[in-house]
Structure 1
Amino acid sequence: MGNEFVNYLNSMNNATSGNINALAESQVINKYYNYIRVDRKLGEFIVKKINANEKSCYILTGHAGDGKTSILIQVLKSLNLLPEGERLKVVDTVSNEFCTLKYVKDMSELSEEKQIKLLKECLEAPQNGMSSILITNTGPLIKSFNILFGEGNDEKIDKIENMLLKQLDENSIEELKVNENRFNLINIARIENLNFARKVIEKICSDELWGKCRDCINECKCPIYFNKKCVSDNKERVIDFVETFYRWLQENDKRITIRQMIAQISFAFTGNINCERISKFDNRLYNNFNYNFANLFFGYKGIQEIYEAKQIKGIELIQEMKIDSVALREDYNIFVKGDFSYLKPDIRIIVESLWNKFSKEVFIGDYCDSKYIDKQNEIRKAIRRFILVFGLSEQENGVSELYNQVYGKVFNMYKSAITEKHTPRKLRAISKMIYEALYIKNIGVPPIDEDTLYLTLARYDGDFQKVFLLLGKAKERNLVVNQVVRNVEIEDTDGGYKLVLQICKEDGIVNEKVNLSLPLLMYFYSIGNGEISTEINPSLSHGVAELNAKLLKVFRFKEKEKQLSLIVNTVSGAKEIKIEFEDNKMFVL
């Protein structure tokens, strides 16, 4: 009775105790696993190397839930080394007529003695005519390397640690070497995973998984099947919203794992209700409203918060952001004029009818009653959730403007810069914004017909300052914003760029580089527009400190004994003054 695929989706999140398929090693024996499994580029990269008879050791590390085990399963299945319905072993060596592969499912779960032994065996596997895949957490990996190769020598241990940590940060696909052992070390936490959301939503919406729902007598009153139809009919719009939300988290050092993505997306489809429960529903439209994908993705049943849904990390974070509480430009048309044309007909019907019903309640009741005011706020939030997930899809620039309202005024500029090739003119506009912000930050006022960037020792208490100690000088042309093509060989993206600020001296040679994050661009924009933000963001503070240090490294004056340079703010702009001390006297040069 019912669709077993719905039960499978319900088991993919941690909002209840029935999440038996949340882990990849449990999923692998489920018949639906292959239907929604998403192959990763890293897995394809390893399979390609093994098929080309390039024997190597692959060490995969990352956070819990990043998909390390799933990649191992992908490699084994692609090489026909894991029969259907068979679980992974803790350690195994498998082979066929084409290749032999040794794998360790998770070295971190084993004793220290076994960790060292298995690391040694996996590193030596290529010398023994086979490939190997070892999965581990970072801490046990570094410790095992130090014990195995450090030999108690601090200098050797430091060298090994620096090599491993540098690779974990840079995540290149070049082989590393310790003694005679060559290996690939890949930090999955550093791999772009946003494209995973698109693929898993597309797979969940596959028609072959919903055949029983189409033929079900309860199809007309089933909110789960209605979600499937809503998402399928608005697929690009829904995927764009989900990817944008996960991108915002990633840019603000709140990146969530693939396991956490699956938990939130699967919960948004089903709300953890099952077919038996739906059979007892009536035909009211409000079930399709209460259990709609737009509400469930935020952890709400209609206007009521689902307490246990907060156990899902993505839901916890989206509730903390409160983006459904942001007043939108569209609010007036929706809530005053009753214009719901921002939504497609099937979704519009349930949202508009709910608002009309509430409006009648207010008319009959006492509008000043606090319960009506609270309910109105909650209903407005719910309707905004529908606008965020489904709305404005057919309006030119509507979605972009919507994102700027909830994520910040430069969000779409940044998103465009990392996804689309920009003209030199567009990149120069970003460079100019950065220059002007740095000028204000260092001097306290905007530049007046200036192209010189003064690097000063400024106060950070917010008080206006007229005199600054000058540490160095750069020119506007020394700051060049460029797009660097991403490495798509192992990252789950079809392209895109990293936005980089290049710090160049007069000869045009790039002396230093700083990766431009979304918080950093928002910071520059806010300074240029006179906005003050007190929010503490680790990604932002790190980026600002790194930029300041690199600017001073390239442009700081060579110190001259008994001589100082000052910048004085005057009504006609910033003036540079040099002073010198001699015989306890000060001279202006």
Structure 2
Amino acid sequence: MLKTIEGLPPRINLIYPFGRLVKDEIWELEQEDVLTKNASGELSKKEVYGRAVRAGLIKEIDYTLRIDKHLLSELAKDIAIRYVPIQYQAGIFDSLGFDFELSVKEQQKTQFFRKQAIVSQNSPSAKTRVLSHMDHEKQNSFIAYLNSLHNVGASGANALAESQALNSYFGELYEPFPIVDQIYDFLIGDKDQIVILTGHAGDGKSTVALDLLKRLKQIPNNDILKTALNERESVTHPHDPLRSISIVKDMSELNADLRLQWLEESFSGTGSWLIVSNTGPLLNSLSKYAKNRHVPGNISSKILELLNLSYSEGDLKPHTLDLFEKNLLILNMTRLDNVALGARVFSRMVNHSGWAQCAGCPVISACPIALNRLALSESGSIGIVRVRWVYQLLNAYEQRLTLRQMIAHLAYSLTGGMSCSEAKQLVTDSALEGVDRGTDGLERIIFSEAFFGYQAGVPSSIGGNLRAVELVRRQVFGSPVSVDFERQLANNEGSCWMVLPEALKHIAQRWAERASEAAGTRWRFAQRRMLYLFGKPSVSGTTSASVFCDAFLQSPRLQDFDSWSIQGSMSLSPIEQRRLVKSCLRVLLEVFSGFSSGQFQADHDRLFLTLRRPDRAVVQPTQLVMANLPFDDFHLEYDASKRLPLLRYRDSTIALNLTLPLLDFIERRNSGDLGSELSEIHLAQLEWFRAELLRMNKGHMSMAEITLLKANITGEVYLRRYHLDSHHQTLELD
């Protein structure tokens, strides 16, 4: 406020409005009661500068203008038109960074207001005029907040935890991380201890630190902090006033010397510490500290081992090092299950109380954003679960998203990047009647299209800026599912087993008409995406809906995999488990031998490990069997910490992680899909399993018996056993 704006006469006293605006009830001035004023009520320029006095808009107006850039621009333009001479308007707006172009009509308004001298004793107060303007331009600030969570538009201010700490909407949106309670108990324990949270940017490290800071300060989760997070916060121990707990917001932002200094202070001083850091700076700083303290062993290797550990809820001991002066707990946030967490945040987003601001809006019944949200609400948990399935699929196929990327994706998908004012304008400008006034706008932003990176059936140009959209678009979700389903879709019979929300009735009818045309391919893709995310199975259509979702996701085992992950166990009967074991082993037999399972007898129940070229470049009709293992020696387990089923050999430590790609591969092979292939990384896991089985059984191999696996001219595979008579130097056929 005190800087001279280029373009204004240099002698204008900017201290005058700095103090006088308080009388207009839109402005707050620090230390107002102690500042010296002359008879006219003006402040002393020397005193204002000397005391470094600050001033600003009152909270109500300041908050609204910060989150609604459109309103800010319109209000600024209105003030300029009314009060600023034309020759200075462009200069002021350039200095403030606003795009300011006046139409002819607005220029005429400028002249009119200048002539009318509207500011008089009888005029409404400035506060009344500003709030009246704000009421006229009333927007749902929660929608502006959602749009600030992604970087599709110009505002991505609330994507970081530092901004969230000061935002009133964040508390209700926040879903606590499952590790927060354990870390809190660890920090307030009887001994001083240190916790380091590491991982990728956007994994939620700073958000966990914010949650813990609030708990330690006894600030309710829904309340905002009064000030921004400092680089280092110190809090009195809740049970011991002589002890403290320090929280370092992000050690990665510090220079190397300061990182080392704070590490030394944390280990050698009193009190517990929580330190947030990216992995690289963490390794460098801890290694240097360990070297200075002559800590034995390779500390970097030990830290890397901890970083690779999966987190088992409630068990922090495996993640703790006792090599330093204090116990050091290192948790890698990338090892946590953020898929379920992201889905719960989405549920909070859809059901947030911020949507109540839409009440009373004259266009709410046709508002595209409101209809989008209403459709998700009407579909209940269906949309939440199916969003989780997509994220589970990406995560399992080595395309993990951070929590920040998920939230940005979901916020964008909910609003389509559309602002409240844009939605109002679309409805107001529509020539249609009733709810139909919002159909065009809804078609632009409908959740089922925005989520998968499309807009009205074609790739969205703005959505592609999001990492999540980039990944889901690669999967080409929405492609044809099956002949029967496509026939139903063409005849508009999908509703017989899948019901869409009432809010989508009009757009569903429109898309069905377009999809029936010869050039309606993109609309059929859009229909399938809409049915997937919004379709609720009818009473008789549960099985059909499940089959459709499997085919849509191109993952026959995803629904089971997700269910096991949520439950922490496998919900299969003993018979179903044996069937799955058999399916796994028959596919392993194919991979290890190169023969298809159909070449073996139907009741075949043994796994052969043979000598075979690792590159699989040559067909080997005859192979030497190195081990012959009964199917009954294998069983299924579920590892809750890894959130994976395991195929374990006997009671040994040898177990194959049954990842989703491997389970899908097994399911497809068993259903006769010979075209499916595994990526190299998963083939390497199978080779490791094979090598471990051979290693464990090498002592059981008889040198007096040779077993060959052979395929005859018809392709049938059979065994040939030969006995070596070393005494007579003969080889006998069994």
- 2:145 matched residue in structure 1: 8
1:352 to 492, 495, 508: 508
1:343 to 499, 507, 510: 499
- 2:339 matched residue in structure 1: 194
CA contact (8 A) 1:61 1:187 kept: yes
1:112 aligns with 2:256: yes
Amino acid at match of 1:355: W
2-structure distance, mates of 1:92, 1:181: 20
CA shift for structure 1 position 536: 5.7
CA contact (8 A) 1:511 1:554 kept: no
1:501 aligns with 2:617: no
CA contact (8 A) 1:456 1:470 kept: yes
CA contact (8 A) 2:610 2:623 kept: yes
CA shift for structure 1 position 303: 2.3
Cα deviation 1:234-266 (Å, max 9, x = unaligned): 121001111000111111111111001100110
Amino acid at match of 1:22: A
In 2 relative to 1, CA 219–430 (structure 1 residues): closer, same or farther, beyond 3 Å?
A: same
TM-score of the superposition, structure 2-length normalised? 0.70
- 1:492 matched residue in structure 2: none
Cα deviation 1:437-474 (Å, max 9, x = unaligned): 12222331423233321101234446543111222222
Which range moved further: 242-251 or 442-451? 442-451
Between Structure 1 and Structure 2, whose CA radius of gyration is higher? Answer: 2
1:25 aligns with 2:162: yes
CA contact (8 A) 1:146 1:157 kept: no
CA shift for structure 1 position 227: 1.6
Cα deviation 1:410-431 (Å, max 9, x = unaligned): 3334344444532222211111
What SS does structure 2 have at the residue aligned with 1:58?
strand
What SS does structure 1 have at the residue aligned with 2:212?
helix
Which range moved further: 285-294 or 270-279? 285-294
CA shift for structure 1 position 75: 0.5
In 2 relative to 1, CA 259–587 (structure 1 residues): closer, same or farther, beyond 3 Å?
A: same
Which consecutive residues of structure 2, in runs of 5 or more, have no partner in the other structure?
Answer: 1-137, 431-436
2-structure distance, mates of 1:189, 1:345: 36
CA contact (8 A) 1:298 1:318 kept: yes
TM-score of the superposition, structure 1-length normalised? 0.87
Report matched runs for 1:462-473 at 5 Å: 464-473=619-628
In 2 relative to 1, CA 229–530 (structure 1 residues): closer, same or farther, beyond 3 Å?
A: closer
What SS does structure 2 have at the residue aligned with 1:133?
strand
What SS does structure 2 have at the residue aligned with 1:436?
helix
1:249 to 394, 404, 407: 394
- 1:515 matched residue in structure 2: 657
2-structure distance, mates of 1:123, 1:566: 63
- 2:556 matched residue in structure 1: 409
CA contact (8 A) 1:119 1:134 kept: no
What SS does structure 1 have at the residue aligned with 2:556?
coil
Query: RCO greater where, 1 or 2, for CA within 8 Å and sep 6 or more?
Result: 1
- 1:370 matched residue in structure 2: none
Which range moved further: 323-332 or 47-56? 47-56
Identity %: 22
CA shift for structure 1 position 556: 3.4
- 2:180 matched residue in structure 1: 43
CA contact (8 A) 1:519 1:539 kept: no
In 2 relative to 1, CA 124–563 (structure 1 residues): closer, same or farther, beyond 3 Å?
A: farther
1-structure distance, mates of 2:647, 2:268: 42
1-structure distance, mates of 2:293, 2:194: 25
Cα deviation 1:173-192 (Å, max 9, x = unaligned): 11321144311111110011
1:143 aligns with 2:284: yes
1:204 to 335, 349, 374: 349
Which range moved further: 34-43 or 559-568? 559-568
- 1:480 matched residue in structure 2: 635
In 2 relative to 1, CA 514–162 (structure 1 residues): closer, same or farther, beyond 3 Å?
A: farther
CA contact (8 A) 2:654 2:689 kept: no
Cα deviation 1:518-548 (Å, max 9, x = unaligned): 1111222334444344656355234323322
- 2:609 matched residue in structure 1: 455
1-structure distance, mates of 2:493, 2:324: 72
1:131 to 254, 272, 278: 272
- 1:164 matched residue in structure 2: 303
Report matched runs for 1:220-235 at 5 Å: 220-235=365-380
2-structure distance, mates of 1:28, 1:54: 29
- 1:217 matched residue in structure 2: 362
In 2 relative to 1, CA 423–327 (structure 1 residues): closer, same or farther, beyond 3 Å?
A: closer
Amino acid at match of 1:117: Q
In 2 relative to 1, CA 526–355 (structure 1 residues): closer, same or farther, beyond 3 Å?
A: closer
Amino acid at match of 1:164: I
In 2 relative to 1, CA 285–16 (structure 1 residues): closer, same or farther, beyond 3 Å?
A: closer
1-structure distance, mates of 2:386, 2:512: 27
What SS does structure 2 have at the residue aligned with 1:103?
strand
2-structure distance, mates of 1:196, 1:417: 16
Which consecutive residues of structure 1, in runs of 5 or more, have no partner in the other structure?
Answer: 368-372, 488-496
- 1:568 matched residue in structure 2: 710
CA contact (8 A) 2:668 2:676 kept: no
1-structure distance, mates of 2:687, 2:440: 51
1-structure distance, mates of 2:653, 2:273: 40
1:277 aligns with 2:422: yes
- 1:178 matched residue in structure 2: 323
2:206 to 52, 62, 69: 69
Amino acid at match of 1:320: R
In 2 relative to 1, CA 85–237 (structure 1 residues): closer, same or farther, beyond 3 Å?
A: same
Amino acid at match of 2:584: I
- 1:377 matched residue in structure 2: 521
In 2 relative to 1, CA 31–57 (structure 1 residues): closer, same or farther, beyond 3 Å?
A: same
2:486 to 328, 331, 338: 331
CA contact (8 A) 2:152 2:466 kept: yes
CA shift for structure 1 position 578: 4.4
What SS does structure 1 have at the residue aligned with 2:275?
strand
1-structure distance, mates of 2:699, 2:557: 34
Amino acid at match of 2:547: E
Which range moved further: 6-15 or 228-237? 228-237
In 2 relative to 1, CA 146–528 (structure 1 residues): closer, same or farther, beyond 3 Å?
A: same
1:295 aligns with 2:444: no
- 1:494 matched residue in structure 2: none
2-structure distance, mates of 1:245, 1:109: 34
Report matched runs for 1:434-453 at 5 Å: 434-443=584-593, 444-446=595-597, 447-448=600-601, 449-453=603-607
Amino acid at match of 1:38: E
In 2 relative to 1, CA 287–357 (structure 1 residues): closer, same or farther, beyond 3 Å?
A: farther
CA contact (8 A) 2:515 2:523 kept: no
In 2 relative to 1, CA 34–412 (structure 1 residues): closer, same or farther, beyond 3 Å?
A: closer
CA contact (8 A) 1:299 1:309 kept: yes
1-structure distance, mates of 2:265, 2:544: 57
CA shift for structure 1 position 568: 2.4
- 1:260 matched residue in structure 2: 405
- 2:543 matched residue in structure 1: 397
CA contact (8 A) 2:706 2:724 kept: yes
